[in-house]
Structure 1
Amino acid sequence: MSLTAQPNAAVPAPHAEKRAAAFSSVLAAFGITLLKLITGLLTGSLGMLSEAAHSGIDLIAAAITLLSVNVSDRPADEDHNYGHGKIESLSAFVETGLMLISSIWIVYESLHRILGRTHLALVMSPWPIVVLLLSIAVDYTRSRNLHRVAVAYASEALEADAVHFGTDIWSSFAVLLGLSAAYAGERFHIPGLELADPIAALVVSLIILKVCYALASKTIDNLLDATPPETRKQIRRQLIHDLLAIPGVISVDRLRTRRSGATYFADLTLGIPRNVTFQRSEQITMAATAAVQLLYPGADVVVHSVPTASLAESVHDRIRAVAARANLSIHDVSVQQYDGHLHVEQHLEVDETLPLRQAHDLVTKLEADMRLEVPAISTILTHIESEPATILHPAVLEHDRQLERRLRTAARAYPKILDIHDVLVTHMPSHGSDRIQVNCHCTLPDDLPMSEVHDIITALEGSFKLENPEVARLLIHPEPATDNRR
């Protein structure tokens, strides 16, 4: 599977919907910002100008969100192995800085007017009220739309914008109250109400600072690869519980999660029995990956397995584990107990070209490691066997072909044997000698009773082994004629 995007590939539906939501948010922010700015300049309202500044920040934030959405959905490539999801966190970080600057400016201007008792020259007009009500309606609509798309596609940037624009509703409402109070003070000649407008501006700045703090905390956590809040408590406990429920998982030694854009990354270290096969280890890994992706669909999961001694291990398992750790092959392991001590006998296969001195040193170290693993072991008797070369010589191959011909000749003495096929001759070393075993398939009539089948096979085995005493075992698998013709 290629990691690079196909240049002519169609735009995926999720990306198109996310981009459409972000683009509509940019258009709405531009229109509202322009209306608030014009209204604030015409009326002289600091609250309205602060709202215009706030909406200007929203416009910049919406534009950054649109850019980040276009980039973040790009697939991983050679330069960005973990994808481009971090661009959403980076855009949120820039947005936080802009919000902080606007808040400081609004606080400064508000305090200057409140403490300096600057006379406010407000122009009475219904337009600020209309603009603010329109702004509340637009912010409510786009906040819901952004939240819906963000939840559907797990977009961090769109969710941040949805929360941000949701708070704009309350800030616009605060300015609306401030303007109403200021107009009332102007009309009824109540000087104290003139402070309502800068106080409303302060309320707006506090709302911006609150959103700024929450957004900054989340952004910094994402940039520093902090554990996502949704995985820190209940879900983390649930995930550990699900992992430990997988047959073969002894312990969860480490569980690390992080988020980049809409993608979760999980890094697991699991203790699994050290005597399981490689195939079983792979099955456990796949089950652990499925358990994580059940809670985090599409998560990128890396599983590290640590061979671990389990309580269910027998003495034989622990002995074989020591040999496996040393990459040695042992068989025919027997353990006996006398007077409270264990006595072990085992067979060890070594390369046939290995000198005796090196083989002895290898056995000495192996036995020492086994005593450390199982202190109850008193004595160990190791039979050293040479592992023969796996490539047969031409003379051996010719002998095997002769055995196959002799088997077919011997089968002709039994008319009900229709044919002999799939003949396999194997050589198994045993105590310095070559033990030969012959396997074959034998075709017989469909309606032949099993008692007669057994008699024919037994007779063929006896006659063949009598003429070929070097064959230790002949295994015959009977098949019906109809099966053989399939």
Structure 2
Amino acid sequence: MHDATPGAQVQALREKNAAALTSVLAAFGLTAMKLAVGLASGSLGILSEAAHSALDLVAAGVTFYAVRISAQPPDRKHPYGHGKVENLSALVETLLLLATCAWIVYEAVNRLLAPKPVEASWLAAGVMAASIVVDYTRSRMLLAAAKKHNSQALQADGLHFATDIWSSLVVLAGLGALALAEGLDPASPLVHWLRRADSLAALAVSGIVLWVSIRLGRQAVDVLLDAGVQEAQEGIERAVADLPGVLGARRVRVRQSGPVSFVDMLLGVRAGLGLTDGHEVVRQARAAAQAVLPGADVLVELRPEEDGAARLLERAREVTDCFDLGMHDLDLRQADGVLLLNLHAEVPGSLSLEEAHARINEMEATLRRELGSGCRVVTHIEPEGAHPAPAMDDPDSAEALRQAIAEVVDETPGMCDLHGLVLLRSGARVSASFHCRMRPETPITLAHDRTVALEATLRARLPQLIRVTIHVEPDKSGTAPDGAPPDGAGEPAA
């Protein structure tokens, strides 16, 4: 896990440097020991292991250098930091290993064609056994540090030494075969192959090294090309998909730079989302991404979009307007996987039920074509003018309604200063919203009761009002009437 705090970064660098330095010292000791015994015994298997360890020494040095460079902070030339130096060093180690494989294969084939005497001594076997112990201890230490600090350079180094364990076992098997051949009749056909077991063991070592090299190389190239992060990307997309206010993840990109992951995402959010709510969406999206990639550096961009249901409802209104019918109370929702549209339609009162039903059927068929064949439309049919209302395109009628609302407000105890009145027509019905004022010290319970009573009175006197929204503000001018009931008691809601 990557911790961004300065203290944690210093501690992580100290631990990574210690692991890399220990690897260098161990590789140097093993290389010297294997080289000496290999030259003394003439074993190509041990000499190939010495060459392998020499490459490990070079790789360990590269890792040690890469770990130190990658810890440098970002600068103008490297805004994402220097973490990819670790990935580059892993690629260099891979190329060195491939070169080693080529040399081992060349020497092994030559010795298979022209065998050279090899001494299967206890010293050679002891060296390989000691090598296995050192490689096991070192690989566990490096892989643990790599996992803790998400370091591909340390991982490559650790896998090298884990590979050395298997290759050393193969060499031991080859030495054992040589020892077995010495106890057999030289004329036995089995001796012919046992004496070549050392070279065959070297080929087996090269095969193991080749397999690990290709694996490491692919990982390093993937990171250098910002590839191989599909699983993390899909995990982040799933994590942010269900966040409140998020309509969907429109783009998620992930890149790795050494131990640090960088994530940038574009989220579609509901149009009209406030700044505070948008900031909360960003915070939750960042936390969701870091749950998938701990310690990731996350950048979140929000793009306002219309909700799918809102777009469908707007399209439904456009369709109904084409039929020149009064529409109101449109309601669109999902029910058991089915899109359900409920609405009220006003038809001329002179029509018969059959004629009215035919017009509504035509409108419903058009709605289903526009909204999808799976949409179910339920229409409540009512005559025009069931609740006569002044037309809002008539200034005189609109003014008359404003005056009527103002009179009711003035009659309400404690209420004053009607302002911000908005009248919206829906067929023969009207929605009204406005502001008014009460004394600042008025208890909120009393203010609520008065607004409820005012709404009820407005609907009773003006039946064309289908919706009334009242916003009460404190009157700081001191002109609001005293509307408190006797003894300061609250009034029951109407």
TM bin, normalised by shorter chain, reads 0.5 to 0.7
Q: 1:94 aligns with which of 73, 92, 101?
A: 92
Aligned to 1:182: 178
Deviation of the 1:124 alpha carbon = 4.4
1:221 aligns with 2:222: yes
Give 1:292-303 correspondences, 5 Å limit: 292-303=289-300
Letter in 1 for 2:325: G
Deviation of 1:119 after TM superposition, in Å, equals: 2.9
Q: Distance in 2 between matches of 1:277 and 1:10?
A: 36
CA RMSD of the aligned region, Å? 4.0
- Structure 1 counterpart of 2:160: 164
CA apart distance, 1:183: 2.9
1:202 to 2:182 alignment = no
After TM superposition, give the deviation of residue 186 of structure 1 in Å. 3.7
Residue 339 of structure 1 is matched in structure 2 by 324
| Structure 2 CA distance for partners of 1:158 and 1:336, relative to 1, 3 Å | same
Instruction: Provide the rounded CA distance (Å) in 1 between the counterparts of 2:481 and 2:286.
Output: 44
Q: After superposition, what is the alpha-carbon deviation per residue over 1:406-448, rounded to whole angstroms, capped at 9, x for unaligned?
A: xxxxxxxxxxxxxxxxxxxxx9999xxxxxx9999679xxxxx
Q: Distance in 1 between matches of 2:172 and 2:148?
A: 34
State the alpha-carbon separation in 1 of the partners of residues 481 and 71 from structure 2: 62
- Pick from 249, 254, 258 the counterpart of residue 261 of structure 1: 258
1:288 correspondence with 2:289: no
The match for 1:77 among 75, 78, 89 is 75
Task: In structure 2, give the amino acid aligned to 1:313.
Answer: A
Instruction: Name the CA distance, whole Å, in 1 between partners of 2:129 and 2:326.
Output: 89
Separation in 1, partners of 2:26, 2:17? 14
- CA gap 1:259/1:472 in 2 versus in 1, 3 angstroms: same
Partners of 2:14 and 2:483 lie apart in 1 by 63
Contact 2:120 2:178 in 1 (8 A): no
Match of 2:132 in 1: 136
Distance 1:475 1:251, change over 3 A: farther
Shift of 1:255: 1.7
1:54-85 CA distances to partner (integer Å, 9 max, x unpaired)?
01111111111111111212222222111111
Q: Distance in 1 between matches of 2:133 and 2:201?
A: 20
1:45 to 43, 46, 53: 43
CA distance in 2, matches of 1:202, 1:147: 26
**Contact kept? 1:256, 1:267, Cα under 8 Å:** yes
CA distance in 2, matches of 1:143, 1:96: 17
Query: Residues 316 and 195 (structure 1 numbering): CA distance in 2 closer, same or farther, change over 3 Å?
Result: closer
Question: 1:104 and 1:475 mapped to 2: Cα distance?
Answer: 99
SS in 2 for 1:84: coil
Partners of 1:476 and 1:203 in 2: how far apart? 99
Name the CA shift for 1:81/1:475 in 2 (closer, same or farther; >3 Å). Answer: farther
Shift of 1:163: 1.7
Distance 1:146 1:307, change over 3 A: same
| 1:310-331 residue CA offsets vs partner (Å, 9 max, x unmatched) | 134289999xxxxxxxxxxxxx
**What amino acid is the match of 2:169?**
F
1:113 is displaced (CA, Å) by 1.6
CA-CA distance at 1:275 after TM superposition: 2.0
Amino acid at match of 1:12: V
Separation in 1, partners of 2:103, 2:392? 84
Alignment check: 8 A CA contact 1:441 1:477 kept: no
Aligned match of 1:306: 303
Q: Deviations over 1:270-326 (max 9, x none)?
A: 1111221233222212211110011212111122222211134289999xxxxxxxx
8 Å CA contact retained: 1:92, 1:215: yes
Give the Å deviation of 1:380.
11
Q: Is the 8 A contact 2:235 2:292 kept in 1?
A: no
Residue 148 of structure 1 is aligned with which of 144, 169, 172? Answer: 144
Give the deviation of 1:193 after TM superposition: 1.3
Assess, with a 3 A threshold, how the Cα gap between structure 1 residues 255 and 475 changes in structure 2: closer, same or farther. farther
Aligned residues: 351
Aligned pairs for 1:266-277 within 5 A: 266-277=263-274
Q: Which amino acid aligns with 2:215?
A: A
| Conserved 8 A contact 1:275-1:317 | no
CA gap 1:296/1:476 in 2 versus in 1, 3 angstroms: farther
Residue 46 of structure 2 is aligned to residue 30 of structure 1: no
Pairwise mapping of residues 322-471 of structure 1 onto structure 2 (< 5 A)?
Answer: 339-340=324-325
Distance 1:204 1:473, change over 3 A: farther
Equivalent-residue separation in structure 1 for 2:83 and 2:162 (angstroms): 24
CA distance in 1, matches of 2:62, 2:438: 73
**How many angstroms apart in 2 are the aligned matches of 1:39 and 1:160?**
27
Offset at residue 122 of structure 1 (A): 1.7
- Give the 3-state SS of the residue equivalent to 2:228 in structure 1: coil
Q: Which runs of 5+ in 1 are unaligned?
A: 319-334, 344-374, 384-426, 431-436, 444-449, 455-470, 479-486
Does structure 2 retain, via aligned residues, the 8 Å contact 1:120–1:194? no
Point out where structure 2 has 5 or more consecutive residues left out of the alignment: 329-369, 372-390, 396-418, 423-435, 451-476, 485-494
Preserved CA contact (<8 Å) 1:259 1:265: yes
Per-residue CA shift, 1:223-255, capped at 9, x if unaligned?
Answer: 101033xx52xx544432221110111111222
* Deviation larger for 240-249 or 197-206: 240-249
Quote the Cα distance in structure 2 between the aligned partners of 1:475 and 1:133. 99
Q: Pick closer, same or farther for the CA change 1:96–1:476 going to 2, 3 Å.
A: farther
SS in 2 for 1:30: helix
- Paired residue for 1:403? none
- Give percent identity, aligned residues only: 40
